[in-house]
Structure 1
Amino acid sequence: MMNLRFPKQIMRVTFGAAAIALLAGCASKGEPAYTPKELRSFNETATLETQWRQNVGSGLGRARYPIAPAREGSTVFAADAEGLVMALDANSGEREWRVELDTPISSALTAIAGHVYLGTRNGEVIALDQRDGSVSWRSRVSSEVLAAPQANQQLLVVQSVDGQVTALDRATGAERWVYTSSQPALTLRGTGTPTVIEPVTFVGLANGRLATLDNRSGQPLWDMQIATPRGRSEVERLVDLSGQPLITPDGRLFITSYNSRVVALEATRGNVLWESNLSSRHTPLMVGDYLFVVTDNSQVVALDASNGQEIWRNDELEDRWLTAPSFAAGNLVLGDFEGYVHLIDAREGNIVGRTRVHKSGLSVPAVTDGNTIHVQANNGRLETLEVTP
Structure 2
Amino acid sequence: MISTASRTLIVLGLAAALGGCSLFPGMSMPSFFGGGGAEKPKPVELPPSPNLVAVRPAWTARVGEVALPLTVNTAGGAVTVASSDGTVAVIDAATGRDVWRASAGGPIAAGAGSDGKLVAVVTRSNELVALSAGKEAWRQKLAAGGYTAPFVAGGRVFVLTADRAVSAFDGQTGRKLWTQQRPGEALVLRHAGVMLAVGDTLVAGLSGRLVGLNPANGSIRWEAPLASPRGINDVERLVDLVGSVSRVDNTVCARAFQANVGCVDASRGALLWTKPANGFQGVHGDDKLVYGTEADGKLVAWKRENGDRAWVSDRLQYRELSAPLLLGRSVVIGDSNGNVHMLSREDGTLLNRLTTDGSAIASAPVAAGNTLVVVTRSGGIYGFVPQ
TM-score of the pair, normalised by structure 1: 0.84
Please show how residues 180-329 of structure 1 align to structure 2 within 5 Å: 180-206=181-207, 208-232=208-232, 234-244=234-244, 246-249=246-249, 251-329=250-328
- State yes or no: 1:22 paired with 2:29: no
- 2:38 paired with 1:74: no
Tell me the amino acid that sits aligned with residue 211 of structure 1.
Answer: V
1:54 matched to which residue of 2? Answer: 61
**Using CA pairs below 8 Å that are at least 6 residues apart, which structure has the higher relative contact order?**
1
Q: Which amino acid aligns with 1:282?
A: Q
Amino acid at match of 1:100: S
CA drift at 1:339:
1.3
Question: Bigger CA drift: 231-240 or 328-337?
Answer: 231-240
- Deviation of residue 133 (structure 1)? 0.8
Q: Secondary structure at the match of 1:20?
A: helix
Counterpart code for 2:142? V
Q: Given the superposition, is the C-alpha separation of residues 369 and 303 from structure 1 closer, same or farther in structure 2, using an over 3 Å criterion? A: same
CA contact (8 A) 1:202 1:245 kept: no
Tell me what 1:10 maps to: none
CA drift of 1:232 comes to 4.3
Deviates most, 34-43 or 321-330? 34-43
> What residue number does 1:39 align with?
45
Q: Which AA in structure 2 matches 1:23? A: L
Contact 2:224 2:264 in 1 (8 A): no
> Structure 2 unaligned runs (5+)?
1-7, 14-21, 29-33
Which of 98, 112, 115 matches 1:112?
115
1:274 Cα shift?
Answer: 2.1
Would you say the 8 A contact 1:152–1:198 is kept in 2? no
Residue 48 of structure 1: CA displacement? 4.1
| Change in 2 beyond 3 A, CA 1:357/1:256 | same
Matches of 1:72 and 1:38, distance apart in 2:
36
How far the C-alpha of 1:357 sits from its partner, in A, is 0.9
Give, as a single letter, the amino acid of the residue that structure 1 aligns with 2:135.
S
**SS across alignment from 2:9:** coil
* CA 362–171 in structure 1, closer or farther in 2 if over 3 Å, else same: same
Deviations 1:152-184 (A, max 9, x none): 324321101221111112232211110112242
Pairwise CA distance, 1:246: 4.3
Letter in 2 for 1:21: I
Three-state SS of the structure 2 residue aligned to 1:86 is strand
Cα distance in 1 between the residues matched to 2:310 and 2:176: 45
CA distance in 2 between partners of 1:302 and 1:169 (Å): 39
Distance change (3 Å), C-alpha of 1:202 and 1:92: closer
Root mean square deviation of aligned Cα: 2.5
% identity of equivalent residues: 25
- Tell me how far apart the structure 2 counterparts of residues 244 and 97 of structure 1 sit (CA, whole Å): 26
Quote how far apart the aligned CAs of 1:218 are.
Answer: 1.3
Partner of 1:341: 340
2:105 maps to 1:102: yes
What letter corresponds to residue 337 of structure 1 in structure 2?
S
How do 1:113-132 residues align onto structure 2 when only pairs under 5 Å count?
113-129=116-132, 132=133
* Rounded Cα–Cα distance in structure 1 between residues aligned with 2:42 and 2:382: 24
* Counterpart position of 2:19: none
Tell me: CA distance 1:202–1:279, structure 2 relative to 1, closer, same or farther (3 Å).
Answer: farther
Aligned length: 362
Q: SS at 1:297's partner residue?
A: coil
Q: Cα gap change, 1:144/1:187 in structure 2, threshold over 3 Å: closer, same or farther?
A: closer
The question of whether the paired residues in 1 share the 8 Å contact of 2:73 and 2:114 is answered with yes
The one-letter amino acid paired with 1:51 is A
Given that 2:198 and 2:266 are in contact with CA atoms closer than 8 Å, whether structure 1 keeps it comes out as: no
Which residue does the alignment assign to 2:94?
Answer: 91
Q: Report SS of the residue matched to 1:187.
A: strand
Residue 117 (structure 1) shift: 2.1
Which 5+ residue runs of structure 1 have no aligned equivalent? 1-18
CA contact (8 A) 1:322 1:363 kept: no
Quick check: 2:147–2:161 contact (8 Å CA) kept in 1? yes
Q: Report the secondary structure of 1:71's partner residue.
A: strand
Q: Write the letter of the residue equivalent to 1:294.
A: T
Deviation at 1:371, TM superposition (A): 4.5
Letter in 2 for 1:384: G
Inter-partner Cα distance in structure 2 for 1:268 and 1:94 = 39
CA displacement 1:314-370 (0-9 Å, x = unmatched): 122223221111222321111111111111111232121112212221121122135
